């Protein structure tokens, strides 16, 4: 029903906006709750057992994270006597809130729900989960001052490594995208306390690249690497561009995805964290490997040496092609 859909999408936007606008922990928590409750019917709308399972897993993790957040902010109010987000001073609630937010966005080692949940959803809801749902917790993470740097760096480094290793043995595209999300979030958290503006830049470029990747897979109606092998017949022009989109997501130099990584490595080097930067850069190579593998699966079918290349093709939906064109161009050439 379009009315119900509109209401749920409004709730989704409202929850995030409330969290953005709040300076009080209770209000921030309320925004996160509204957000979670709005996306749950969207996730379960297909009534497929797999979708219901994913929704249940998502609900349990988000509820746990929200409860942790509420508990930590109450503890903070009890210890220091104030609810202000920017005035956090006590180390215990600070650590607890950081971990709760990390669980909310799926940072390693609290990442295990994300691939499972994303795999059970259709690509549109998966796109919302990978992009919009990250905004509110990130707004809170950016506002928390004087959190212990070791925690953030550990979370970030673990996430980049887990996102690299985890995606290597996957054949399902949505799980690959989930691990890619974990790795990108790791990069953002790594630089969070040294340069918040770089975190925002990385988040923005990640949104653009993920948007175009999800739309490509949606246009191809492909959910596994095998399904990409016949994508030339569905959209030839796109098939020749998609490897570039994927390599941009992996962070290969002349493409957009390289920009945040370049700046983050530079900033880490400035902060005398060269070993950390080296580890992060090496973990990016892991991610690059599985993007290359997907690109390879797509380019194998490219004209002129494929049998199916002579079949007629057309774009299935005009409302998909315009955002796809914009997102793809941005993903490839924003550097």
pLDDT in tens, 245-268: 999 999 999 999 999 999 999 999
Q: What percent of the chain has pLDDT over 70?
A: 95
Check: CB of residue 263 under 8 Å from CB of residue 201.
Answer: yes
Say whether pLDDT at 235 is over 80: no
Residue 222 to residue 51: CA distance in whole angstroms: 17
Task: Using pLDDT thresholds of 50, 70 and 90, give the confidence band for residue 305.
Answer: low
Above 60 in pLDDT, residue 144?
yes
Are 148 and 94 within 8 A, CB to CB? yes
So what's the pLDDT on residue 136?
97
Residues 36 and 59 sit within 8 Å (Cβ to Cβ): yes
Top-confidence residue, 233 or 240: 240
Segments in the chain forming alpha helices (H): 2-21, 25-43, 49-80, 91-105, 113-119, 123-130, 135-143, 149-168, 173-191, 196-220, 231-234, 236-250, 258-270, 274-299, 318-333
Rg of the chain taking only CA atoms, in angstroms:
20
Lowest mean pLDDT among 13-27, 150-164, 173-187, 299-313: 299-313
Token pair 């989109």 in the structure block, residue = 245
Band (pLDDT 50/70/90 cuts) for residue 306 is: low
pLDDT of residue 228: 87
* The predicted structure's pLDDT at residue 65: 98
Mean pLDDT value of segment 207-211: 97
Q: How confident is the model at residue 207 (pLDDT cuts 50, 70, 90)?
A: very high
Classify burial at 328, counting beta carbons within 10 Å of its beta carbon; exposed 0-12, middle 13-18, buried 19 or more.
Answer: buried
Least confident of 84-93, 240-249, 283-292, 297-306: 297-306
Nearest Cα neighbor of 130 from 227, 218, 21 is 218
Weakest-pLDDT range from 6-15, 78-87, 104-113, 309-318 = 309-318
C-alpha atoms less than 13 angstroms from C-alpha of 322 in its C-beta half-sphere: 2
Cα 300 → chain centroid:
28
Q: Which residues contact 36 (CB under 8 A, 6 or more apart)?
A: 15, 59, 62, 63, 66
Alpha-carbon distance 293 to 305, whole Å? 20
Residue 299 CA to residue 57 CA, distance in Å, equals 36
Better-predicted residue by pLDDT, 220 or 94: 94
- Residue range 264-293, pLDDT digits in tens: 999 999 999 999 999 999 999 999 999 999
Percent of the chain topping pLDDT 90: 82
Residue whose token pair is 């909310």:
104
* Under 8 Å between Cβ of 208 and 128: no
pLDDT at 199: 97
Q: Which residues pair with 224 in a beta bridge?
A: 172
* pLDDT of 223 over the 80 cut: yes
Cβ-in-10-Å burial (0-12, 13-18, 19+) of 317 comes to exposed
The pLDDT tens digits for 1-27 are: 899 999 999 999 999 999 999 999 999
Q: What is the pLDDT of residue 318?
A: 73
pLDDT score, position 146? 87
pLDDT of residue 303: 62
Question: Which pair of structure tokens corresponds to residue 165?
Answer: 């290793």
Decide: residue 52, CB within 10 A, 0-12 exposed, 13-18 middle, 19+ buried. middle
Structure tokens at 98: 């950081």
Distance (Å) of CA 2 to CA 109, 182, 194, 317: 38, 32, 44, 19
> What pLDDT is attached to residue 72?
97
CB-CB contact of 158 with 109 (8 Å): yes
**pLDDT for the residue numbered 8:** 97
pLDDT at 316 over 70: no
Domain ranges of the chain: 148-332
Can you tell me the mean pLDDT for 193-209? 96
Grade residue 304 by pLDDT with cuts at 50, 70 and 90: low
pLDDT value at 302 more than 80: no
3-state secondary structure at position 85: coil
Choose among 172, 159, 143: nearest CA to 73: 143
């Amino acid at each position: 029903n379009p009315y119900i859909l509109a209401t749920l999408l409004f709730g989704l936007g409202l929850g995030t906006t409330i969290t953005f606008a709040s300076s009080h922990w209770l209000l921030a928590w309320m925004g996160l709750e509204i957000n979670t409750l709005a996306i749950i019917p969207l996730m379960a709308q297909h009534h497929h057992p797999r979708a219901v399972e994913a929704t249940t897993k998502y609900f349990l993790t988000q509820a746990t994270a929200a409860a942790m957040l509420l508990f930590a902010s109450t503890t903070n109010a009890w210890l220091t006597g104030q609810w202000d987000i920017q005035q956090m001073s006590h180390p215990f609630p600070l650590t607890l809130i950081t971990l709760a937010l990390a669980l909310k966005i799926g940072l390693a080692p609290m990442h295990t729900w994300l691939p499972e949940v994303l795999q059970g959803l259709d690509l549109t809801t998966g796109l919302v989960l990978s992009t919009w749902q990250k905004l509110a917790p990130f707004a809170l993470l950016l506002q928390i001052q004087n959190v212990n740097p070791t925690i953030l760096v550990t979370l970030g480094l673990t996430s980049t490594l887990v996102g690299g290793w985890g995606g290597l043995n996957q054949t399902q595209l949505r799980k690959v995208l989930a691990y890619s999300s974990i790795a990108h979030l790791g990069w953002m958290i790594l630089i969070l306390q040294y340069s918040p503006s770089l975190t925002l830049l990385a988040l923005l470029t990640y949104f653009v690249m993920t948007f175009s990747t999800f739309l490509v897979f949606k246009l191809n109606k492909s959910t596994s690497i095998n399904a990409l092998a016949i994508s030339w017949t569905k959209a030839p022009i796109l098939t020749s561009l998609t490897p570039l989109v994927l390599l941009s997501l992996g962070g290969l130099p002349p493409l957009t995805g390289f920009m945040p990584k370049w700046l983050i490595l530079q900033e880490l080097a400035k902060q005398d964290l060269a070993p950390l930067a080296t580890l992060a850069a090496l973990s990016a190579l892991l991610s690059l490997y599985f993007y290359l593998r997907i690109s390879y699966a797509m380019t194998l079918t490219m004209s002129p040496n494929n049998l199916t290349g002579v079949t007629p093709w057309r774009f299935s939906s005009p409302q998909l092609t315009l955002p796809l064109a914009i997102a793809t161009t941005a993903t490839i050439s924003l550097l």
